Structure 1
Amino acid sequence: MTDRRDFLKKAGLAGAAAVGASAISAPYVHAQSKIRWRLQTYAGPALAEHVIKPSIDAFNKAANGEMEIELYYADQLVPTGELFRAMQRGTIDAVQSDDDSIAAPVDVSVFGGYFPFASRYSLDVPTLFNHYGLKEIWEEAYGEVEGVTWLSAGAWDPCNFVTVEPIRSLEDLEGKRVFTFPTAGKFLQRFGVVPVTLPWEDIEVAIQTGELDGIAWSGITEDYTVGWADVTNYYLTNNISGAWAGSYFANTERWEELPEHLKTLFRLCMDSSHYYRQHWYWWGEAHYRTTGGKLELTSIPESEWQTVEEEALKFWDEIAAQSERNARVVQILKEYRATMQKAGPPYRYG
């Protein structure tokens, strides 16, 4: 109070009034501290440069000082498998990942990541969510979980094997120790694959030391981008899924604290991220197959690979039996598959 009186004496009443008027007219945002979020992605630094960083940089610029999102990479703050719980507790504010990898405690989490043969192309994922009802099912499922809000799903790349030794038949999969996603790994065990779980940043070394025989975590774009093409020799063109399905999530309290214009801005940036990946992966999958130069392409004959797809449909029915909601998802996938086959090229060939 002594300082305040001294200031008023020196500045005079007119000056004090001017200061008061200035404070009253100042924009609301300047009276508030900047909103800060910590968002962790499933991706390591090289991959994150494409799958999320451009959209977060754009958000921070467009937020104009009102909010800043600090981006963290795979396992940087929290192990990927603990991301959901960390977000629920408020240790981190938001996550970009698939439901499967972060152990989301909802029945539909099995459809995140690479659910076997759920998609043939990357456009299948946004079509299923926005036009076939998966969006509403995901909102329903996560609405039953305290503390986490599901925000948006999009597509990534297909799931192909990249290996040290060539794979040219189903027999060649037998005994292969492979880094992959939880549900994809459970399915691949039917063909003798041994799923291995390791921190993302350890994969390259694990291939070099022989701890892993291969990776079924991505398409060829990521193999080249993150360095896996430097330590493997062969790329199998057959895939078990045409696109990874990943999502954005946020701590519910932090999400609800945001003013509507920042929520809208974040939604626009999620859409920007989804769109960037659509064309980046579509470019990369063809580019690296034809001009990459590091990996030899191999294929399992389509007649033999058909048995894998038929087994996937049995797997679908097993997952459908786990809950009424899962059954709804599987029914949508079956209807979608039938529609695409009936539509023919370019939706489905053969």
Structure 2
Amino acid sequence: MKRRDFIGKAGIGLASGVAAASTLSTPALAQSKKTITIVSTWPRDFPGLGISAQRLAARITELSKGALTTEYFAAGERVGAFDSFDEVASGNSTAYIAADYYWKGKHPAFNYFTSVPFGMTTVEHNAWTKFNGGQELWDELSGSFGIKALPAGATGTQAGGWFNKEINSADDLKGLKMRIPGLGGEVMSKLGASTVSLPGGQIYENLVSGSIDATEWVGPYNDYFMKFYEAAKYYYTGGMHEPGGPIAFGFNASFWGTLTNWEKALITAATMEENAAQFEECMANNGKYLKKLVNEHGVQIKSFNDDVWDSFGEAAAQVFEEVRDHSPLAKKIDDSFQKNLREIGGSMANLEGVFQSQRNRILGII
């Protein structure tokens, strides 16, 4: 057979195959379209966290070219913020976007997949989750409740919070009414504070009314829009309670099992993209909004002193022992977390930590 004849016949065969595949692919794609119903713990258009969740939902539809259509419901639009977990576990909705430490009443180990006192920063937590077994442990924990969770955002090390009085010693925490969820709230409780866990959309009204005396939220970028400065002028820098960790995109496990490998890969890629974007957005904006809080609203920036930090540390040690005593799974997760905290945190302290400390000293960065 002449070469030109072979190529011609092969080309015809290839073209026929492509045409056949094209004929089949369109109806097959139409039949495979799926709708992902997402409930969130954040109000609609909520600066920072809420906008990030909406951005992720839209991105999935965009990347899949409509093969995966998302329906996004902010807190209260379909279910209450703290009802999101049960809504998804039951199968009434497909997925939630939330901070997983909201579910500590179901299992205390959920705290490790948002943030814990004296725990990992965002970069450290990502390293553990992606490469050192954290995701597998998260799967084991969430799977026991019918959930498949993925990291879908991060806010970095959070501020110590807003207070209507200065905190000069642990005694100043006694009787303080504070909004602070997770294990950080348990640390505060051990130091005599009265703690509550409120959805983001309810914090301002409680602070202004005096129902609470203090609150933590995120950091300057997110906090600026909450207007906490109208009720509390003392804003404390980095706190012990949330050094870093992911926002969760939790799927109903049965629904997740119906997805193709391509669909799972696309969703995972979108969550990884937003996991980075939300963190970077906070880092890009925290500095300018901290200046606005001080210059425009007279906020007084404070730092907890060493005695207060030591009190936090002593209370946190008690909290971790209680978590470990809960169950073999809680102990296994804590063992892995603490091991990686020391290994990853140690290397970062000797590299990034030393560099940043010296850079800031020489350049006068505070």
TM-score interval, normalised by the smaller of the two chains: 0.7 to 0.9
Q: CA deviation at 1:97?
A: 1.4
CA distance in 2, matches of 1:314, 1:103: 17
Which residue does the alignment assign to 1:6? none
**CA 1:64–1:184 in structure 2 vs 1: closer, same or farther (change >3 Å)?**
same
What is the 5 A alignment of 1:70-85? Answer: 70-85=71-86
Q: CA deviation at 1:288?
A: 2.8
Q: CA deviation at 1:164?
A: 2.8
**CA 1:303–1:35 in structure 2 vs 1: closer, same or farther (change >3 Å)?**
same
Q: Aligned AA for 1:338?
A: R
Aligned to 1:100, the other structure's residue is in SS state helix
What is the 5 A alignment of 1:1-350? Answer: 27-29=26-28, 31-32=30-31, 34-45=33-44, 46-47=46-47, 48-102=49-103, 105-106=106-107, 108-119=109-120, 121-145=121-145, 147-152=146-151, 155-159=154-158, 160-240=160-240, 241-293=242-294, 294=297, 295-339=299-343, 340-341=345-346, 344-348=349-353
CA distance in 2, matches of 1:144, 1:49: 28
CA distance in 2, matches of 1:204, 1:249: 27
Question: How high is the TM-score relative to the length of structure 2?
Answer: 0.79
Q: Aligned AA for 1:64?
A: K
**CA 1:149–1:125 in structure 2 vs 1: closer, same or farther (change >3 Å)?**
same
Q: Aligned AA for 2:155?
A: W
Cα-to-partner distance string for 1:167-204 (whole Å, 9 max, x where unaligned): 34333222221112143222210122211233432221
Indicate conservation of the 8 Å contact 2:237/2:303, yes or no: yes
CA distance in 1, matches of 2:312, 2:205: 30
Indicate conservation of the 8 Å contact 1:170/1:304, yes or no: yes
CA distance in 1, matches of 2:75, 2:82: 10
**CA 1:170–1:285 in structure 2 vs 1: closer, same or farther (change >3 Å)?**
farther
**CA 1:170–1:106 in structure 2 vs 1: closer, same or farther (change >3 Å)?**
closer
Aligned to 1:76, the other structure's residue is in SS state coil
**Percent identity among equivalent residues?**
17
Aligned to 2:162, the other structure's residue is in SS state strand
Q: CA deviation at 1:303?
A: 4.3
Q: CA deviation at 1:206?
A: 1.2
Q: CA deviation at 1:63?
A: 2.0
Cα-to-partner distance string for 1:69-115 (whole Å, 9 max, x where unaligned): 11222233222322222112221110111222145744522324331
**CA 1:84–1:256 in structure 2 vs 1: closer, same or farther (change >3 Å)?**
same
Q: CA deviation at 1:34?
A: 4.2
Question: How high is the TM-score relative to the length of structure 1?
Answer: 0.82
Indicate conservation of the 8 Å contact 1:84/1:103, yes or no: no
Q: CA deviation at 1:271?
A: 0.5
**CA 1:229–1:273 in structure 2 vs 1: closer, same or farther (change >3 Å)?**
farther
CA distance in 2, matches of 1:143, 1:89: 13
**CA 1:81–1:193 in structure 2 vs 1: closer, same or farther (change >3 Å)?**
same
Cα-to-partner distance string for 1:99-134 (whole Å, 9 max, x where unaligned): 221457445223243311112x32121112123321
Aligned to 2:100, the other structure's residue is in SS state coil
CA distance in 1, matches of 2:74, 2:351: 36
Greater displacement, 196-205 / 152-161: 152-161
Indicate conservation of the 8 Å contact 1:96/1:248, yes or no: yes
Unaligned residue ranges in structure 1 (runs of 5+): 1-20
More helix by share: 2
How many residue pairs align between the two structures?
327
Cα-to-partner distance string for 1:226-250 (whole Å, 9 max, x where unaligned): 3334443121114013124432111
